[in-house]
Amino acid sequence: MRILVLHGPNLNLLGRREPGIYGRKTLAGINRELEEAAEELGVELRIVQSNHEGELVDEIQKAREDCAGILINPAAYTHSSVALRDALAAVALPAVEVHLSNIYAREEFRRKSLTAPVVLGQISGFGADGYLWGLRALVKKIREARAENG
């Protein structure tokens, strides 16, 4: 089973970017932890970071061909991108949304997620751990659905 892990804009700067909000872990560090968790879970990851909305849409569309689910931190596009929301809805793959910070405890404009209504669930405010829990939750949901459907 393959899972697409999508990191949105500016997440390539993690570690240096507003560490008081996003922590000191780099994206490479988070990805390493995700790979370790994936090995334990017996799944394969395709990990992509992009600062470009259209590239993220392309990746979501591609996932339909060869991925069982999507773990996504849409970053700033969470709050603005109808295109990302529509892509997630269109491929209809099980997806989990992750945010390092608690978006509901921040500025007003961050308290709305356009993508949350089209994913299984959201984990927000637990730093890099949220990605690991998100991956576990996603894989569990996919396996349960497969078991139910025979």
| Residues lying near ligand DQA in the complex (CB under 6 A) | 10, 73, 75-76, 78, 99-101, 103, 110
- Measured CA distances, 70 to 23, 28, 133 (Å): 23, 19, 13
Q: Rank residues 25 and 99 by Cβ distance to ligand DQA and give the closer one.
A: 99
- Please state, in angstroms and as integers, the Cα–Cα distance from residue 123 to each residue in 27, 42, 45, following that order: 17, 22, 19
99 a catalytic residue: yes
Our answer to whether residue 104 is catalytic in this structure is: no
CA-wise closest residue to 81 among 49, 101, 56, 104:
56
User: CA–CA separation, 78 vs 64, rounded Å?
Assistant: 21
Q: Which residue is catalytic, options 7, 22, 77, 131?
A: 22
Active-site residue, from 7, 77, 99, 131: 99
CB closer to ligand DQA out of 78 and 81? 78
1 or 12: CB nearest ligand DQA? 12
- What residues act catalytically? 22, 99
